[in-house]
């Protein structure tokens, strides 16, 4: 279709072709038929038509209207919606071209291909077994300037959101959910897979009343040596900070120390939360929570839940012992300890499908730690341990008058794309825009982007180097602070 036939929709159709969302032949046919009937159509009207025909999702249409054409197709995955944002990155609902199944895809800034090869070792571990409570880490890859991680998409609602809405669980229900989690962890531990970041927001309650453990594999990626980690320093610090409420004493001081015993401690904190509706150490700064997990005892669960069975309270207390050797020998023992209480729970009722795995209840509940906290926690952990390129895009004016005018006349797309709604027929016709020659071949675009990707990697490395210097300085200061605290803890008056 000639550019002169597209009218005001010229830039929108060009961007849509660049996105690789739709086959070129199908796109030209659908757009041609629509513009024959609506020759004066604006881009928002064409976008709304494509959404109504099921050719685009609302999310995809919004992104194209905003000029964000890159990153909608990552490897075999076509992103269809955003389902959450957290400290590591944004999670999307995506369809795989390989098997036509839905996946939760987490997108991260790219570091290097070597990191991806290391991360794929985790994927291979999950190929050895399946378990109904385990959502396996199935793929990792790179596309343009992005890394992506994927898990099968699970319908449901994260346990943190359930507690916030419904309140604490009865002892029987809490024991049932903890038992299911312990069964899934036991299957993982038998294959040397440790979670390392277990918390309520990483546990999905499905419509069938079954618990599904999310974000398995993330802990291993964070635990790699800093030079090898797939995840950048700031994202690592943010993720570890957001998980402090359920972190084990040994993993707080050494994040690479991921063990079955550490998962047990985290499960104890989760069970404490299920029973009481609060975390063991709910108050205080990140440093205070770190120290509390190592030296303080939480408020007795019996005080918070007076009527609960003594034996169930004993399970919670044993799981949360400071020394790993004082906990259970394996998660299989935990299952047997919880079974008498879980067997008294009523059959799970069908629940509405509220959210999907990896949404606000994904890796970090959508709560991103502030930058200062992220820098601090990275220093504290160390102290305790010892758009791709392609052809040129259409020229975009500094003041996006053409798009704003189009947005004003738009009927049903999201308000986030523009401010205000003009009267019917009010928008002024957009000025003529200069467009470069259309791309002739997608393969040529991919080849042309290689040099740009290399330049992006160099820039990212320089930026991380500058950030690393700041982390080292602040970390050194925090080393002194922690050392002073420990000295006061053992030789002087205790701060708390």
pLDDT band at 398 (very low <50, low <70, confident <90, very high): very low
Mean pLDDT of 328-339: 96
Residue that wins the pLDDT comparison between 151 and 438: 151
pLDDT at 353: 55
Mean pLDDT of 277-283: 93
Q: Is the Cβ–Cβ distance between 304 and 296 less than 8 Å? A: no
Q: What is the DSSP letter of 73?
A: E
Q: What is the pLDDT of the chain when averaged over all its residues?
A: 75
Q: What is the CA radius of gyration of the chain?
A: 26
| H helix count then E strand count, the chain | 18, 10
Q: What is the DSSP letter of 457?
A: H
Q: Compute the distance between CA of residue 274 and CA of residue 256 in angstroms, rounded to an integer.
A: 27
pLDDT at 145: 77
- Nearest in space to 144 (alpha carbons), one of 359, 460, 466: 460
Give me 412's structure tokens.
């049903």
Q: Compute the distance between CA of residue 297 and CA of residue 287 in angstroms, rounded to an integer.
A: 16
pLDDT at 366: 37
pLDDT at 371: 37
| Per-position DSSP letters for 101-147, written without gaps between them | -EEEEEEEE---HHHHHHHHHHHHHHTT---TTB----EEEEETTEE
Query: Would the pLDDT of 384 be above 90?
Result: no
pLDDT at 467: 47
pLDDT at 114: 44
Query: Would the pLDDT of 33 be above 80?
Result: yes
Q: Are strands 203-205 and 355-356 parallel, antiparallel or unpaired?
A: unpaired
Q: What is the DSSP letter of 246?
A: G
Q: Which of 222-231, 337-346, 370-379 has the highest mean pLDDT?
A: 337-346
Tens digits of residue pLDDT in 347-361? 766 665 545 554 444
Nearest-5° Cα angle at 79, 152 to 204: 35
pLDDT band at 242 (very low <50, low <70, confident <90, very high): low
pLDDT at 314: 97
């Amino acid at each position: 279709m000639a550019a002169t036939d597209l009218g005001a929709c010229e830039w929108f159709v060009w961007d849509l072709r660049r996105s690789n969302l739709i086959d070129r032949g199908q796109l030209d046919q659908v757009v041609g038929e629509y513009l024959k009937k609506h020759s004066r159509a604006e881009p928002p009207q064409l976008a709304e038509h494509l959404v109504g025909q099921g050719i685009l999702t609302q999310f995809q249409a919004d992104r194209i209207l905003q000029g964000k054409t890159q990153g909608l197709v990552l490897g075999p995955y076509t992103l269809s919606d955003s389902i959450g944002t957290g400290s590591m990155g944004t999670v999307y609902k995506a369809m795989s071209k390989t098997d036509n199944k839905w996946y939760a895809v987490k997108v991260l800034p790219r570091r290097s291909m070597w990191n991806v090869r290391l991360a794929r070792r985790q994927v291979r571990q999950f190929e050895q077994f399946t378990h109904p409570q385990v959502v396996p880490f199935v793929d990792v890859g790179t596309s343009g300037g992005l890394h992506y991680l994927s898990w099968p998409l699970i319908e449901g609602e994260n346990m943190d959101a359930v507690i916030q809405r419904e309140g604490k669980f009865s002892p029987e229900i809490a024991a049932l959910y903890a038992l299911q989690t312990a069964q899934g962890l036991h299957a993982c531990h038998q294959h040397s897979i440790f979670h390392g970041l277990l918390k309520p927001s990483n546990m999905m309650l499905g419509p069938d009343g079954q618990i599904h453990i999310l974000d398995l594999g993330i802990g291993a990626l964070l635990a790699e040596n800093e030079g090898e980690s797939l995840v950048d320093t700031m994202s690592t610090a943010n993720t570890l900070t957001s998980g402090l409420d359920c972190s084990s004493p040994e993993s707080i001081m050494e994040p690479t120390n991921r063990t079955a015993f550490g998962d047990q401690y985290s499960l104890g904190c989760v069970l404490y939360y299920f029973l009481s509706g609060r975390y063991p150490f709910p108050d205080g700064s990140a440093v205070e929570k770190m120290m509390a997990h190592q030296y303080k005892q939480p408020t007795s669960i019996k005080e918070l839940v007076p009527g609960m069975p003594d034996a169930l309270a004993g399970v919670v207390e044993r799981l949360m012992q400071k020394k790993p050797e004082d906990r259970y020998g394996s998660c299989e023992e935990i299952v047997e300890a919880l079974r008498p209480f879980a067997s008294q729970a009523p059959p799970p009722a069908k629940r509405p499908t509220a959210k999907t795995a990896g949404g606000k209840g994904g890796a970090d509940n959508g709560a991103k730690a502030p930058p200062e906290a992220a820098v601090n926690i990275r220093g504290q952990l160390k102290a305790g341990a010892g758009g791709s390129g392609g052809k040129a895009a259409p020229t975009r004016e500094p003041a996006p008058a053409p798009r704003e005018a189009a947005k004003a006349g738009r009927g049903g797309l999201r308000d986030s794309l523009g401010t205000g709604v003009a009267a019917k027929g009010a928008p002024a016709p957009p000025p003529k825009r200069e467009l470069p020659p259309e791309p002739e071949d997608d393969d040529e675009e991919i080849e042309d982007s290689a040099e740009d990707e290399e330049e992006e990697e160099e820039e990212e490395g320089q930026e991380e180097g500058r950030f690393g210097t700041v982390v080292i300085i602040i970390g050194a200061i925090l080393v002194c602070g922690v050392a002073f605290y420990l000295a006061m803890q053992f030789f002087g008056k205790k701060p708390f």
